[in-house]
Amino acid sequence: MSGGEELLRSRGLRVTRPRLAVLDVLADGGHLEVDEITRRVRKRLDSVSTQAVYDVLGALSRAGLSRRIEPAGSPARYEARVGDNHHHVVCRGCGEIADIDCAVGSAPCLDPDTAHGFQVDEAEVTFWGLCPACQARRSADD
């Protein structure tokens, strides 16, 4: 049994070829748009509709096997790194996204001083700035 099959079964999800293919694509890392995921899935499976990929991503996200992020002004992206409440830094120049760890071994952002009685399970923190490539391009323009 592959790692993907085990993951799906562990969350009570039926094992299907599109689900395995999407998991496989996400396992390569990064924060991928649906178009990119679909393109890579089609290299593994003959024909998969974009809608089918959306459906799979929805099921995987609900099951906690993928994480969906949607920085302002950018299409939704998906990643396989889940469950650690890590944050993201987004480049204002090119849209590049990188991971930023919450404090190792804990997630202090999940313990606000007051949560108004809510039980908090995720803190969506997005840092904005310029990536190294865009910084270099900007100083070259000066």
Annotated binding site for Zn(2+): 91, 94, 131, 134
Phi, psi of 124 (to 5 degrees): -95, 100
Q: Record the tokens describing residue 122, joined without a space.
A: 């995720």
Least Å distance, CB 110 to Zn ion, is 7
Provide the annotated binding site: 91, 94, 131, 134
Question: Cα dist. 133→87, 96, 110, 137, 139 in Å?
Answer: 21, 10, 32, 6, 10
Least Å distance, CB 78 to Zn ion, is 10
Site of interaction with Zn ion (CB under 5 A): 79, 91, 93-94, 96, 99, 102, 109, 131, 134
The strand pairing partners of 66, in sequence order, are none
Least Å distance, CB 21 to Zn ion, is 21
Closer to Zn ion by CB, 35 or 111: give it: 111
Closer to Zn ion by CB, 47 or 114: give it: 114
Closer to Zn ion by CB, 6 or 101: give it: 101
Q: Which residue has the tokens 């190792």?
A: 104
- Taking alpha carbons only, the member of 135, 87, 76 closest to residue 109 is 87
Least Å distance, CB 126 to Zn ion, is 11
Closer to Zn ion by CB, 45 or 110: give it: 110
Answer whether 60's CB lies under 8 Å from 87's CB: no
Distance between CA 7 and CA 78 in Å, rounded? 17
